[in-house]
Amino acid sequence: MTCHEQEEKVKLSLSASLVLTAVFISNIGNGMNTITVGRALYDKTGNVLAFGIVIIIQYFINSLMYIFSGTLVDRHSPKLVCILADVVRGIFICIASFFVLSQQGQWWIFVSVIVINIITPFYNSATFALAPVIAPGPTLIRYNTLFVALLQAGQLIGTALVGFILEYFHVSVSFGLDGLSYLLSAIVIGMAYIPRVDIKLPECHRFWLNDLYNDWREIRCCLRLNTALFLHIILCAGDFLAVNFINLSYVPMVTLWYGNNNYWLSIFDGSFAIGAILATFIAPRIMKYRDVRVVTALCLGLEALFFACLSAVHIPYVTIIAMLGLGISNASSIIILMTYLQRRIVGPIKGRIAAIRQLIISLFTVALIPFISYAYSFSVNGGLLLSGVVCFVFSGSLFMFSRQRFFGYALLEDKDISSFSS
C-alpha cells in the first residue's frame, strides 16, 4: 500500500475531530461577519474603499500581533491559546452586538474588527501548531483537507444565513451569532485531548522581551540558511491574497451588475465555498503526482484566469461557475502548500513559522489592497483584472523557482527543519 493510499484510508483521532468541529462552528459566524461588515460599510459610504480600509486595518494589526503570537504559541500550550482567544472574541462581539443599533454603530464595527484582529493571530498560530500534533504522519493531509472543507462549509452556512438576516433583521443579529459561535468553539476545543506538545522553555532570569528578541533572531537565522523555506512561506501568501480580493469584489459586483440583490451575495460566496469543499476531494489526488510544484502553479494560474472571466462576462450563472472554479483552484493550492509546510518543520518552532507566514500575508495585503480598492473605485473590471495579475505573478514565481536551476523539489519538500543556527 502506498503512502497516498494510506492517507486516504486513515482515520482521524477524536481530538482532531473536535478541533475541526470547533473550526466549523466559528466559521459559521465568520461567514456572516465578513459579508455583514462589507454590506454595512458600503451602504454607509457608497464606496468599496471603506471595506478596503477595514481590511488594511485588519492586516496592520495582524502584522503587529503576529510578532508576539508565534513565540507565545511556541512557549505555551496551543490548546490553551485557542480557548482563550475564542473566549475573548466571543464575549466582546456579544457585547458589541447590543450597540451596533446606536448612532455610533459604525464605530462599534471598526472596534470589533480591531479586537478580533488582535486575537486572531494567536488563534491562527495555535491551530497551525496543533495540526501536526493531533494529526501526525499520513493523517495530516486528511486533516488539512477536512480543515479547509469545514472552514468553507462554515462560511457557506454563514453566507446562506446572512442574506436572509440582512433582508429581515439587523446587523446586530449577525454580530450576536458570531460571538456565540466563538464561545461554542472554545467549549468544543476544551473537550479535546491534546497529546504532549514540545514547547520552548524560557531561559532563567530573562526578561520576556529578551526571549522575544532571541526567538525572532532564531527565525531570521533559519530563513537566512533555508532560502527555499522562506520562498515556500512567501508563496503561501498568494492564495490568501486571492481570498481577500474575492471578498472585496462581492459588494461592488452585486451592486453594479446584479441589481443590488443581497441574495446574489450569498449565492456567489456560497459557490466559492462549494468549490473549496470540492477541492478537498481533488487535492489529495493531486498530491499523488511527484511534481506537485507544477500542478500548484497551475492552480494559481487558474485563479488568475477566473478573475479575468469575472471581469469579462457579467452573467450571473457564468459568475457562479467562475466562483466555483476559483474555490476549487484556491483551496487545492492552499491545502498542498500548507501540508508541505507543516511536514517540513518539527519541534517548538511551528508557532513562529505560522506567524511569519501570516505576517508575510499581512504585509502583502497592506501593500496591495489600497491599489485594488483604488482600481475598484474607478472600475470593477479594473479591480478584478488587477487581482488576476497578482495571482498570475505568484503562479509564475512558483513555476520559475521550482525549476531545477533554482530549487527544484527542495522548494516544497525539504524535511525536518527543526533547529536554528546563530
How does pLDDT run across 70-116, given as a tens digit for each residue? 778 877 788 888 899 999 988 888 888 887 767 666 677 778 778 88
How many Cα atoms are found within 13 Å in the side-chain-facing hemisphere of 48? 27
- Residue ranges covered by each domain of the chain: 14-199+208-413
How many Cα atoms are found within 13 Å in the side-chain-facing hemisphere of 160? 13
| Mean of pLDDT values over 286-312 | 85
Distance, in Å, from the CA atom of 12 to the CA atom of 349, rounded to the nearest integer, reads 24
Give residue 93's pLDDT. 84
Q: What does each C-alpha distance from 303 to 183, 290, 330, 360 come to in angstroms?
A: 35, 22, 7, 20
Q: Does domain 14-199+208-413 have CATH number 3.40.1390.40?
A: no
Would the CA dihedral through 251, 254, 259, 264 be positive or negative?
negative
Would the CA dihedral through 377, 383, 387, 389 be positive or negative?
negative
- The answer to whether 402 and 411 have CB atoms below 8 angstroms apart is yes
How many Cα atoms are found within 13 Å in the side-chain-facing hemisphere of 169? 16
Give 38's pLDDT tier (boundaries 50, 70, 90): low
Distance, in Å, from the CA atom of 108 to the CA atom of 102, rounded to the nearest integer, reads 9
Give 187's pLDDT tier (boundaries 50, 70, 90): very high
Angle at 151 between CA 145 and CA 157, to 5 degrees: 130
Would the CA dihedral through 243, 248, 254, 260 be positive or negative?
positive
- Single out the residue of 298, 281, 306, 293 nearest to residue 384, CA to CA: 306
- Single out the residue of 280, 262, 235 nearest to residue 401, CA to CA: 235
Find which of 21-35, 41-55, 197-211 is predicted with most confidence, using mean pLDDT.
21-35
pLDDT at 39 over 50: yes
Buried b (16+ CB within 10 A) or exposed e, 253-273: bbbebbeeebebbbbbbbbbb
pLDDT at 3 over 80: no
pLDDT at 25 over 90: no
Give residue 329's pLDDT. 92
pLDDT at 20 over 50: yes
Give 59's pLDDT tier (boundaries 50, 70, 90): low
| Mean of pLDDT values over 246-254 | 84
Give residue 395's pLDDT. 92
Give 320's pLDDT tier (boundaries 50, 70, 90): very high
| Mean of pLDDT values over 278-297 | 79
Distance, in Å, from the CA atom of 258 to the CA atom of 156, rounded to the nearest integer, reads 20
Give residue 325's pLDDT. 93
Q: Which helix (H) or strand (E) holds 74?
A: helix 49-75
Q: What is the DSSP letter of 345?
A: B
Distance, in Å, from the CA atom of 63 to the CA atom of 359, rounded to the nearest integer, reads 5
Distance, in Å, from the CA atom of 301 to the CA atom of 169, rounded to the nearest integer, reads 40
The model's pTM is 0.75
Q: To the nearest whole number, what is the mean pLDDT of the chain?
A: 80
